């Protein structure tokens, strides 16, 4: 315990020109008397810790005692401090490890780059959770994160529908999407990779068994493929819609982006009025009704007939409202 504290004290002093006993005590979570004893121990061990006396005094390292990362440019040094989302690291139980790593990097930087952590933090803040969602850490996330790091199997209970299934999993990677954590894992002995929502695990037990990772597994590529497949699976119906030029411009902001992209991939030639007719993949007729209504007079539903009738009825009601106001 003390050895780790002494190392941290050296790293703190390397990262700053000088620190008072009170500042060191606060960072190390010890008393100022302990700081004094630790400084004496470091000095006796050959670490050149110098104590300045007086009101403005403190501790500092002399003789250029530091390890420097001389090959780093400023942009590279600043980028090091954007390598993770702070909230995500905290939820996975990696906050202390990340803090220690940042401290070691700070201590090793050239003096001219010492402000890199501050300049990066004041320019970029990564806020992963979605809007209007109460943030919360899934109960089993730290256990799963540890298994991911160590390539260890886990026994897990997973809520599916009205029941729970038991699985022995090989956890390959974690993904944070819009505030929701997912595990990309392989069922032991099954070979296929699957995706699990962390908040649906009912129990997770870390095992001593290690597994050999598939060297061909690509987490970003796997997730992109899964996300595309999931989004496409939701688009189970189609509608035929005629769009004005303004409707074409607004469609990607009104309906599912994947559906809009497929619909506008080959819209065909505009008619005499400049309108185009497209086939739009949608989740359902009900969802399409709400989405296409937002386009107002910039879209005309041609099929299915039931949706066209609903939109026509909406237009008639809207026209009646405005006629009444005009009277």
Label residues 291-303 b or e (16+ Cβ within 10 Å = b).
Answer: bbbebeebbbbee
Q: Write the pLDDT tens digit of every residue in 70-80.
A: 555 666 555 55
Is the CB of residue 146 less than 8 Å from the CB of residue 119?
no
Q: 294 is written with which tokens?
A: 């937002």
Burial class (CB in 10 A: 0-12, 13-18, 19+), 253: exposed
Strand 49-52 to 152-160 pairing: unpaired
Higher pLDDT, 101 or 186: 186
Higher pLDDT, 72 or 173: 173
Confidence class of residue 267 from pLDDT cuts 50, 70 and 90? confident
pLDDT over threshold 90, residue 58: no
Secondary structure element (H or E) that encloses residue 210, with its range = strand 201-210
pLDDT at 192: 84
DSSP 60-104: EE-TT-----TT--HHHHHHHTTSS-HHHHHHTT-HHHHHHHHHH
Give the whole-number percent of the chain exceeding pLDDT 90.
Answer: 40
pLDDT at 198: 93
pLDDT at 325: 55
**Average pLDDT, stretch 279-290?**
93
**Average pLDDT, stretch 4-19?**
81
Confidence class of residue 306 from pLDDT cuts 50, 70 and 90? very high
Confidence class of residue 42 from pLDDT cuts 50, 70 and 90? confident
Is the CB of residue 285 less than 8 Å from the CB of residue 325?
no
The span from the CA of 92 to the CA of 131, in Å, is 21
pLDDT at 316: 92
Q: Tell me the H-state helices in the chain.
A: 2-15, 21-28, 32-44, 74-80, 86-91, 95-108, 116-121, 141-150, 219-234, 245-254, 257-263, 285-293, 305-326
pLDDT over threshold 70, residue 155: yes
pLDDT over threshold 60, residue 36: yes
pLDDT at 197: 92
Q: What is the pTM of this model?
A: 0.56
Q: 148 is written with which tokens?
A: 């991911």
**Average pLDDT, stretch 286-313?**
94
pLDDT over threshold 70, residue 100: no
Q: Given its phi and psi angles, is residue 214 left (phi above 0), alpha (psi -120 to 50 degrees) or beta?
A: beta
Confidence class of residue 53 from pLDDT cuts 50, 70 and 90? confident
DSSP 117-135: HHHHHTT-----SPTT---
Average pLDDT over the chain reads: 83
Higher pLDDT, 262 or 135: 262
**Helices 2-15 and 21-28, axial angle in degrees (round to 10):** 130
pLDDT at 290: 92
- Phi, psi (degrees; rounded to nearest 5) at 229: -65, -40
Which one of 126-135, 264-273, 274-283 scores highest in mean pLDDT? 274-283
pLDDT over threshold 90, residue 279: yes
pLDDT over threshold 60, residue 69: no
Higher pLDDT, 273 or 127: 273
Evaluate the CA torsion angle 127, 132, 137, 138 in order and state its sign: negative
Confidence class of residue 67 from pLDDT cuts 50, 70 and 90? low
pLDDT at 121: 59
pLDDT at 128: 66
**Average pLDDT, stretch 249-269?**
91
């Amino acid at each position: 315990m003390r050895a780790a504290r002494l190392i941290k004290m050296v790293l703190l002093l390397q990262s700053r020109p000088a620190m008072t006993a009170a500042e060191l005590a606060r960072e190390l979570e010890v008393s100022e008397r302990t700081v004094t004893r630790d400084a004496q121990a470091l000095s006796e061990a050959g670490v050149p810790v110098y104590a300045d006396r007086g009101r403005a005094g403190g501790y500092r390292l002399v003789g250029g005692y530091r390890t420097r990362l001389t090959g780093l440019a400023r942009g590279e040094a600043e980028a090091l401090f954007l390598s993770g989302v702070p909230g995500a690291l905290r939820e996975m139980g990696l906050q202390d490890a990340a803090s220690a790593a940042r401290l070691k990097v700070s201590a090793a930087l050239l003096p001219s780059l010492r402000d890199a952590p501050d300049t990066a933090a004041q320019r970029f803040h990564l806020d992963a959770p979605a809007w209007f969602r109460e943030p919360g850490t899934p109960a089993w996330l730290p256990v799963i994160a540890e298994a991911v790091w160590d390539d260890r199997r886990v026994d897990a209970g997973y809520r599916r529908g009205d029941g729970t299934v038991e699985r022995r999993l090989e956890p390959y990677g974690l993904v944070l999407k819009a505030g929701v954590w997912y595990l990309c894992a392989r069922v032991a002995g099954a070979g296929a990779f699957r995706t699990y929502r962390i908040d649906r695990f009912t129990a997770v037990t870390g095992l001593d068994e290690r597994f050999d990772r598939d060297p061909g597994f690509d987490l970003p590529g796997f997730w992109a493929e899964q996300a595309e497949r999931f989004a496409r699976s939701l688009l189970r119906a189609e509608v035929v819609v005629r769009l004005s030029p303004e409707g074409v411009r607004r469609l990607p902001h009104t309906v599912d982006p994947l559906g809009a992209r497929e619909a506008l991939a080959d819209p065909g030639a505009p008619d005499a009025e400049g309108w185009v007719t497209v086939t739009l993949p949608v989740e359902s007729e009900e969802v399409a009704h709400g989405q296409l209504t937002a386009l107002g007079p910039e879209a005309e539903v041609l099929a299915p007939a039931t949706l066209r009738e609903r939109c026509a009825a909406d237009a008639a009601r809207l026209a009646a409202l405005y006629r009444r106001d005009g009277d």
